[in-house]
Amino acid sequence: MPEIMNAQNLKFGYSRENTVLEDFSFKVKNSEFVGLIGPNGSGKTTILKLLSGYLSPKAGDIFLGKQKINLLSSRQRARILGVVPQVISTTMPFTVKQVVEMGRTARISPFLPLRGHDHEAVCSAMNEMDVFEIKNSLFSQLSGGERQRTIIAAALAQEPEMLLLDEPTSSLDLGHKLQLMGLLKGLQARGMTVMAVSHDIELMAKYCDRLVLLKNGKVLASGAPPEIITPELIKEAYGCEVNVIVGINGEPLISAEIKAAEIKY
């Protein structure tokens, strides 16, 4: 299957002395559901910002399809790539609907109002993320979970080919967490490529085709969830000993039997 994203030999640091990534390469195939996991400070969010083009690498290239991401116009890029950042806040009194409508920016003329299909895409995204009922509420007054669902709805309204999500379930309750993961799985079935960064390893293992385990800005292991969620790799990445059991659907589950004294960060 062709690759929608290909990052080659990326090097990045936030200052001249500091290096977060060194010779980092990474590929994502069309219609794949990839989970990026790893301990705090392993470079997950930085990688996501590099792959979205928001940060520029010191060396290396990122291809979106066959084109370098930095050669695409902002509108072309946003039609291919939808990104959901970890936290969004604003002091402006925008309603939920207005925020979701902003997702159509790359699809419409800057000076014309939304048209028929734009309204359909906005309504569909709000329905899918369960925010239609609160469409007239102020975004700034929503709970963390509602805000997160609104931003995901805005990214869905973009109708991208690939979705990058940074901790998309961090503020969601169990019901909305499972609803979101089910939705992402459904989008994948309809041809969308999905890549999510998360600390929820079990959830990622249940829904992703492939997990990429990171440590200190390097890929420690990449493969199907049962190959990655092993006591040995978890210990190497997170510095703690765990037991891994198999769930009813064959997904790996991490046993909570962890001795505090054994945690070595």
Partner 1 sequence: MFVILPVLLIAVVVGGLCIGVTWINPLELFNIPDDDLSHALIGLRISRITTAFTVGGALAVAGAAYQTVLRNPLAEPYILGISGGASLGAAIAIISGLSACTMLAVPGMAFVFAILAMALVLLMGRGRFSEYSENVLLSGVIVGAVCSSILMFIISTLNHYELNSVTWWMLGNLQAADNSLLNIAIAVTVIGTLLLTLNGRQANLISLGEEMAYNMGTVPFRVVMILLCTASLMTAASVSLAGIISFVGLLVPHATRRIFGADHRRLFILNLICGGIFLTACDIISRVLLEAQEVPVGVITALIGGPFFIWILNRKGRRNA
Positions touching partner 1 (CB under 8 A) are: 14, 49, 52-55, 74-75, 77-79, 81-83, 85, 88-95, 97-99, 102-103, 105-106, 110-111, 135-136, 138, 151, 154-155, 158
Q: Which is nearer to partner 1, 103 or 225 (CB)?
A: 103
Least Cβ distance, residue 45 to partner 1 (angstroms): 11
Least Cβ distance, residue 43 to partner 1 (angstroms): 14
Least Cβ distance, residue 74 to partner 1 (angstroms): 5
Least Cβ distance, residue 143 to partner 1 (angstroms): 18
Q: Which is nearer to partner 1, 114 or 178 (CB)?
A: 114
One DSSP character per residue, 86-144 reads S----SS--BHHHHHHHTTGGGS-TTS---HHHHHHHHHHHHHTT-GGGTTSBGGGS-H
Q: What is the largest CA-CA distance in the chain?
A: 61
Q: Which is nearer to partner 1, 165 or 205 (CB)?
A: 165
Structure tokens at 253: 């589950």
Least Cβ distance, residue 196 to partner 1 (angstroms): 15
Residue 1's Cβ-side half-sphere holds a number of Cα atoms within 13 Å equal to: 10
Structure tokens at 125: 């995204």
Q: Which is nearer to partner 1, 20 or 205 (CB)?
A: 20
First to last CA, the chain: 38
Contacts of residue 148, defined as CB under 8 A and 6 or more positions apart, other chains included, come to 84, 168, 170, 171, 172
Q: Which is nearer to partner 1, 99 or 204 (CB)?
A: 99
Between helix 144-157 and helix 174-189 the angle, nearest 10°, is: 10
Residue 139 CA from chain centroid, whole number: 21
